[in-house]
Amino acid sequence: MKTGDNEKLVKVYPKIGFWWGVLDFFCGGLPWFVDAYTGAWNHFDDIQAGF
């Protein structure tokens, strides 16, 4: 993130959404493989923009 002359490095890590896991469990095994391959069940926390 860069503002004017200030620059800040922000690390973000993907997290698996709990509800995607529940949905995949109830839908059977195939959606689990598709979501894992595409990364569709990942989400990121909001970045707090403050310097």
Could you identify the residue written with the tokens 């990364």? 39
Q: Is 4 contained in some domain?
A: no
> What's residue 4's pLDDT?
67
How many distinct structural domains can be found in the chain? 1
The answer to whether the beta carbons of residues 44 and 16 sit under 8 Å apart is no
Q: Is the pLDDT of residue 40 over 80?
A: no
Q: Is 50 contained in some domain?
A: no
Q: Give the confidence band of 31 by pLDDT, cuts at 50, 70, 90.
A: confident
> What's residue 1's pLDDT?
53
Please state the φ and ψ torsions of residue 21, each to the nearest 5 degrees. Answer: -65, -40
Range of the domain at 21: 13-43
Cβ-Cβ contacts under 8 Å for 15 (sequence gap 6 or more): 42, 43, 44, 45
Rounded Cα gap, residues 49 and 41, in angstroms: 25
Q: Give the confidence band of 7 by pLDDT, cuts at 50, 70, 90.
A: confident
> What's residue 24's pLDDT?
79
Whole-model pTM: value is: 0.44
Give me 33's structure tokens.
Answer: 């493989």
Mean pLDDT of 14-24: 79
